[in-house]
Amino acid sequence: MQGPAPQPARGFTLVEIIVVIVVLGIVAGITTRFFNTSMQTYTGTELRDALSRTGRISIERVNRELRNAVPNTVRVDASGTCVEFLPLVASALYQDQNVTYGTGTASAPAPVAPAAAADRFDVFDLAFTPSAGAAYYVLVYPYGPGSGAGDPWQAADPGPLAAFQGFDTAPALPAGVRRVVLAATHRFLRHSPRRRVFIAGGPVSFCVVGNRLLRYSGYALSAAQPVPPPGGQVLAEDIQTADPEIPMGSVFAYSGPTLTRNATVVLDFRFMRPDHLGNAEWVRMSHEVQIRNVP
């Protein structure tokens, strides 16, 4: 007896092969797009995180130094890309009376107009040791930039600022009293309400040049704000002075003190760096620095 005839072997039809190829292509496309989206998201997040770290470090550095500025010495240039100030080194109270100390030495009151100019005066409890070769300034009641003779940057005489030379150690002075010597005879414009004197270091600037935030120091005091001063230490890169999405004014904006609040400097730092596809990743960080207003 003869069995059933064997069935011919069957393969995939052309239509089935085409369907499989199409389905695999769709699955591969979806999977590839998913991975690409995930990688782009990860890359963008990492880039923004890096820019945020740069911004936080930059703001902290500027904030720390600006908060230590001598009151009423902060100024911002017309473009809003440079802020300049005199860093506070020490402060004390000055002698304003003609007296004879217990040691038998006559006092040297601060030369405040209309008194005669002098090149030295006494201060109380001044904890300050000057560094060799460094420039220092003595300030009494600066009014701030643009205040005429009260502007510390003008170095007027009479005015609030005089160059510091050292200390006179010859006279016998009571404990806690030191005699400050100025580089030349000078008269301060007016008395401080609290008889306070400041010792400041050389001027310091933070400027945005191109896409870099730089710190400048070691240059001479000037009546006109230098923009930018010579030299410069790079603190951050990728900082921007223009934003195509959100209009911006100034990188630095200064508001002077009033009777009810301290002076402030507003920092508007915007960082941008393109990713591997050329897409711009932006991070904006704003911060307000309060400048102590203690005359």
**65 SS3 class:** helix
| pTM as predicted | 0.84
Contact 262, 293 (CB under 8 A): yes
pLDDT, tens only, 93-119: 999 999 999 999 999 999 999 999 999
pLDDT, tens only, 22-77: 777 777 667 666 555 555 664 667 777 888 898 899 999 999 999 999 999 999 99
From residue 63, how far is each of 67, 229, 264, 287 by CA, in Å? 6, 20, 11, 9
Contact 239, 285 (CB under 8 A): no
What mean pLDDT do residues 201-218 have?
Answer: 95
pLDDT, tens only, 170-187: 999 999 999 999 999 999
Contact 210, 237 (CB under 8 A): no
Residue ranges per structural domain of the chain:
69-85+203-291, 88-201
